[in-house]
Structure 1
Amino acid sequence: MRKLFFGMNVSLDGYIAAPGDNIDWGVQSDELFQQWTELEQETTLSLYGRKLWESMSSYWPTGDQQPNATPAHVEFARNWRDTPKVVFSSTIDKVDWNTRLVTGDAIAEITRLRAEDGGLVKIGGATLAGAAMRAGLIDEYVLVTHPVLVGSGKPFFTALDSWVNLNLVETRTFPGGVLLTRYETRR
């Protein structure tokens, strides 16, 4: 069985995006970018909701060819292109960059993919991850908390039907007061 994780940058008050899908509030550092790159390299399959897919696919297919691309950006872009991806959406009809589109039951497909043999699976997108949370499919949460309060927006955690007990497995600090915490779901 594969392990499914949900990880994103999050404000101290729990949002992954401020109103208007604004994500400019994050504290950037080379060390943090390298952490995300290492996590991406461990990932054998990425699952995306439509909005996050559109954001990622608008930049990373050619991110390594941009004039300001650092070696870390080059590495991330190449890995992003090479990693198989599944996009869940009923509003788009085409995806590319080593990606497959699923327009049907997301939870049934995520359950099937998770049951397969293989490595780490990453899920991204607040709506898609929220559905997987409610279905009890997420094995690990990775929160990279930035020292900012955005007040409202898109929450990292969705409303749940029942409690989810977690075990802390890692903490790590980054420049600018950024804190990574990893939790495994206690089953």
Structure 2
Amino acid sequence: MVNLSYSAMCSLDGYVADAEGNFDWAMPDDEVHGFANSLERDVGTHLYGRRMYEVMAVWETMADPDPIAEEYGRTWRRADKVVYSTTLTAPSTSRTRIEPTFDPEVVRAMKARATQDLSISGPTLAAHAIAAGLVDDIHLFLCPVIIGSGLRALSADVQIGLELWEQKAFRSGVVYLRYGVRSGQ
């Protein structure tokens, strides 16, 4: 059985971007990035909204002398990508297809057929998947910063029970929390 996981780097007060859309405060150091790489190795398919896809598409061609960043780029390129967008007509990266709408039943079937884990990125798209009961676990990287407002990592409109599965503190002050969605939620 494969998992559909939602991961986010967020401020301590729960935002993935500030009111101006900036997220430079969430750039991981090598220790955090290396750990995040280990979480991505088994992902066979990434589900993205348009904005998150446009942020992530740099990994298609980025050549980075840093071995941790280069490892992430290789991992990202070998995974399939599904982008939900009403405005994009063609992908700018390989192994990518565009879907005009997010259909929970189509994703449920995709998950049932998958042989590798799936990930969903971007809080707006993730909120739809969480509400539909598709997300199995949530990975949050809490950054040691409070930004006050912006784009929330988790929707205020969704209520589910969670169980703490894993936690890790990093030297930078970032704290990783992995929660499983309680069955029957």
Shorter-normalised TM range: over 0.9
Question: Alpha-carbon deviation of 1:127?
Answer: 1.2
For residues 27 and 98 of structure 1, the distance between their equivalents in structure 2, rounded to whole angstroms, comes to 26
Deviation at 1:27, TM superposition (A): 5.7
1:87 partnered with 2:83: yes
Alignment of 1:135 onto 2:132: yes
- Secondary structure of 2:76's counterpart equals helix
Q: CA deviation at 1:101?
A: 1.0
Separation in 1 of the partners of 2:56 and 2:102? 23
Candidates 73, 76, 79, aligned match of 1:77:
73
Equivalent pairs counted in the alignment come to: 182
The answer on 1:99 being equivalent to 2:116 is no
4+ runs deviating over 6 angstroms: none
Deviations 1:124-155 (A, max 9, x none): 01211011111121110000001100100100
Q: Are residues 1:113 and 2:110 paired? A: yes
Counterpart residue identity of residue 18, structure 2: A
**Would you say 1:178 and 2:177 are equivalent positions?**
no
**Contact 1:6–1:129 (CA under 8 A) maintained in structure 2:** yes
- How far apart, CA to CA, are the structure 1 residues paired with 2:38 and 2:76? 11
- Please tell me the residue identity of whatever aligns with 1:21: G
List runs of 5+ in structure 1 lacking aligned partners: none
- Give the distance between the partners of 2:171 and 2:30, measured in 1 at CA: 9
TM-score, normalised to structure 2, is 0.93
Identity of aligned residues (%): 34
- After TM superposition, the structure 1 stretch with the greater mean CA deviation from structure 2, 113-122 or 44-53, is 113-122
Could you tell me which residue of structure 1 aligns to residue 9 of structure 2? 9
Q: Which residue of 1 aligns with 2:44?
A: 44
TM-score (norm 1): 0.92
Instruction: Spell out the pairing of 1:146-165 with structure 2 (5 A cutoff).
Output: 146-161=143-158, 163-165=159-161
Deviations 1:88-116 (A, max 9, x none): 11111011321111113432322221222
Unaligned runs of 5+ in 2: none
Tell me the CA shift for residue 38 of structure 1: 1.1
**Equivalent-residue separation in structure 1 for 2:169 and 2:66 (angstroms):** 22
